[in-house]
Amino acid sequence: QLRLVESGGGLVQPGGSLRLSCTASGFTLDYYAIYWWRQAPGKEREGVSCISYPGRWTKYANAVKGRFTISRDNPRDIVYLQMNNLKPEDTAVYYCAADRSPGSGPCTVATEGHYDYWGQGTQVTVSS
């Protein structure tokens, strides 16, 4: 079965850190731009960050800029989202998505694209 798998979510206090991982099952992440989106209860899904293949371009939503870092380890076929200085408003289910259409060009999280694959999501809760 071809799918993306997220991991690394959990409960953390405000100001804490988490690192999310996105891996692929049944295919490789080569040539895919990878996106992180999140959805909080009662809110629309919003773009968080993306990284092109092989990793030259990254983009961040204003809400996470300076706190989150996206990276990819291509030999290990994994993408990370390092989240520091977490805030209660970061609480959401975080999803990764993959899309080949950008090629090696820049990605964007300003609008949601028609991605090839989505993961099932991992819950991140920031609370004291």
Determine the average pLDDT of the residues in 51-59.
96
CA distances (Å), origin 25, targets 5, 86, 118: 7, 29, 11
- What is the rounded average pLDDT for all residues in the chain? 96
Question: In the Cβ-directed half-sphere of 111, how many Cα atoms lie within 13 Å?
Answer: 2
For the residues 36-40, what does the mean pLDDT come to? 98
Instruction: Tell me how far CA of residue 18 lies from CA of 83, 126, 127, in angstroms.
Output: 5, 10, 13
pLDDT band at 103 (very low <50, low <70, confident <90, very high): confident
Summarize the confidence of residues 20-28 as an average pLDDT. 97
pLDDT at position 111 over 90: no
Q: What's the pLDDT at 105? A: 87
Overall average pLDDT of the 80-102 stretch: 96
34 or 114, greater pLDDT: 34
Largest CA distance in the chain: 42
CA–CA separation, 44 vs 55, rounded Å?
Answer: 27
CA dihedral 109, 114, 117, 120 (to 10 degrees): 70
Question: Residue 17 phi/psi, 5° resolution?
Answer: -130, 150
Report angle CA 26, 35, 76 to the nearest 5 degrees.
Answer: 45
- pLDDT at position 50 is 97
Confidence check: pLDDT of 113 > 90: no
CB atoms within 10 A of CB 68: 20
The whole-number average pLDDT for the span 32-41 is: 97
Least confident of 9-13, 54-58, 74-78, 109-113: 109-113
* C-alpha–C-alpha distance, residues 118 and 120, integer Å: 7
